[in-house]
Amino acid sequence: MSLHPVIDEVTERVIARSRAPRAEYLAKIEHARRIGPHRGELSCGNLAHGFAVEDKPGKDALAGSKRPNIAIVSAYNEMLSAHQPLGDFPPLIKEAAWAAGGVAQFAGGVPAMCDGVTQGQPGMELSLFSRDNIAMATAIALTHNMFDGALCLGVCDKIVPGLMIGALSFGHLPVLFVPGGPMTSGLSNKIKSQVRQRFAAGEIGRDELLKAESMSYHSPGTCTFYGTANSNQLLMEFMGLHLPGSSFVNPNTPLRDALTRRAGAHVVGLSAMGDNYRPIGRIVDEKAVINGIVGLLASGGSTNHTMHIVAMARAAGVKIDWTDFAEISAVVPLMARVYPNGVADVNHFAAAGGIQFMIRELLAAGLLHDDVSTVVGDGLHRYTQEPFLDGDELVWREGASESHDTDVLRGVAEPFAATGGLRVLTGNLGRGIIKISAVEKEHRTIHAPAKVFPSQEHVLEAYQAGELERDTAIVVINQGPRGNGMPELHKLTPSLGVLQDKGYQVALITDGRMSGASGKIPAAIQITPEARLGGLIGRIRDGDMIALDAEAGKLRVEVDDAELEAREPTTFEDKPETEFGFGRELFAVFRRNVGSAEEGACALLDAQPAETETRTTVAEQEPAE
């Protein structure tokens, strides 16, 4: 089928917008390809350091530059259930790479913090910027100039985007991303959410809450709800950077181990020393980025990727913005219902047909680019296949052509909604994002007075004091990248859910983030410009009427423009200290130099002057209709 005209139009616009930075990027990686790696030209001291720990066959192979050398860059640690299985991967990869005619070396580890552990805690203020730190650590691992390719081992939240940004700075290398897979299903996410709300309502104690949480997060593997971590995995397939069908295979299974071994063998054949050279900088192009956005929207994925995809694209010289997201979302149907958008988890999604069914349907509808390069060859249609074991042999077969459970996964002809799961909001506060796929239709339009807070802790104090028992638009400011590092405000969800269940109109308005598992409360997030840079969200006052229409993509504070412009930004005498403790002082350079959420909120790519505040008018913040 021919490409959908809107997808075609957006793609051509992105190509035109990106022409200069993309050409500059491609020239840089071509230069890098020509000059290295040349292990044989390293000094003897350099090379001796590089293979000092190898056995004699490994030393001989690396000394003669006869075998491609593959870097293993891993985010393994035991704080993330999703990353604990990665500790077993390097021996499997090394063995497979050697058998395929290559060598693999563990080049470096990258930091990986768990948002589940730090949610609502001071450490969450380092979360977004840890992505930039991971990108830098990836570059450090690869900078030894010993490598002909790389495998990036990571799963969660900021980790995959960070690995991607770092890998793209070595875009002349072929790079595969190697997932760990989701944990098996435990306590259902729906019941877990209900238990959290009962705790927020004071109906149960901490012991019962902890028991439920432990039954939900119970083993190695990715959390089973459809948040940022599992959105990452889907994106890597839609962008052609995984082995097909590898995203949602459970850890510590024969199939998972077989896929890990195959990744180690496969990347050897993609190096410039072979005849199937496929550098990551060529794979991640404008069409691959558009495919990633389509996959995110069709699956109802994480709002965090309205920043992460932008940053990853910019690292490859591709410029996208939220208007591109909005126009694509208007024509891409919502095909999946996975918690918090439904009751199923990612294991149910995979069993229903998963990514393979989605890609098949979207290709047939002309909503994806098939003419792309991937790590397994030309054409995204290769990702309609799923892996399985035929005895001990790993093989692929065509995936589901029909959904096995239409309560979880549907085709393009009969989707859950005609449009994607995210909306871009515009109005006199600027631009923002809302995830409506998890919000029931009756809660998507809110008209309520504002109550302004400096932090989520202050919101919870007001909730406990009974001050929010009414229709309320809760406005939490100074939560943007420049403000305090843009922590997720997921801790608010259970309490606000209680208020909504009592029949009140409730919405969250913030220049901060919500979790990738943004729930049933309408949350207008990532408002740009942020309050710290003079954004008008910082001039909302208690009692101002807020009008949110998620379906129409509109958000306004109903205050005369002249009055709004004349106001001074809200200040708080008891503003919590967010610039020291828990390592936050070490990340001040990121807060000073980071750009806006719509620009990807990446200090490495934005490099803006260290200003603390600018004055912005209504006219500057409200886009023309």
- Three-state DSSP class for residue 426: strand
Say how far apart CA 5 and CA 11 lie, in whole Å. 10
Work out the number of other CB atoms within 10 angstroms of the CB of residue 402.
Answer: 12
223 labelled ligand-binding? yes
Residues 6+ apart with CB under 8 A from 199: 205, 206, 208, 209, 494
CA distance readout (Å), 45 to 41, 68, 103, 508, 586: 11, 20, 20, 59, 34
Say how far apart CA 447 and CA 552 lie, in whole Å. 14
Say how far apart CA 24 and CA 9 lie, in whole Å. 23
Q: How far apart are the first and last CA of the chain?
A: 33
Q: Residue 390 forms beta bridges with which residues?
A: 393
Taking a C-beta distance cutoff of 8 angstroms, is the pair 69, 104 a contact?
A: yes
- Three-state DSSP class for residue 490: helix
Work out the number of other CB atoms within 10 angstroms of the CB of residue 592.
Answer: 14
Helices in 267-353 by DSSP H: which ranges?
Answer: 280-283, 286-299, 305-315, 322-329, 346-352
Exposure on the CB side of residue 559, measured as CA atoms within 13 A: 22
- For 445: left if phi > 0, alpha if psi spans -120 to 50, otherwise beta; the answer is beta
Best CA proximity match to 222, nearest among 393, 143, 338: 338
* Residue 417 host element (H or E): none
Taking a C-beta distance cutoff of 8 angstroms, is the pair 399, 245 a contact?
A: yes
Say how far apart CA 523 and CA 422 lie, in whole Å. 11
Backbone angles phi, psi at 397, to 5 degrees: -135, 165
Amino acid identity at 541: R
Q: Is the peptide bond before 111 cis (omega within 30 degrees of 0)?
A: no
Taking a C-beta distance cutoff of 8 angstroms, is the pair 414, 541 a contact?
A: no
Quick one: tokens of 151? 């495998």
Q: Compute and round to an integer the Cα radius of gyration of the chain.
A: 24
- Name the DSSP letter for residue 607: -
602 labelled ligand-binding? no
| Alpha-carbon torsion angle 496, 501, 502, 503, nearest 10 | 100
Q: Is the peptide bond before 340 cis (omega within 30 degrees of 0)?
A: yes
Residues 6+ apart with CB under 8 A from 400: 352, 353, 354, 356, 357
Annotation: binding site: 156, 223
* Binding site members for [4Fe-4S] cluster: 156, 223
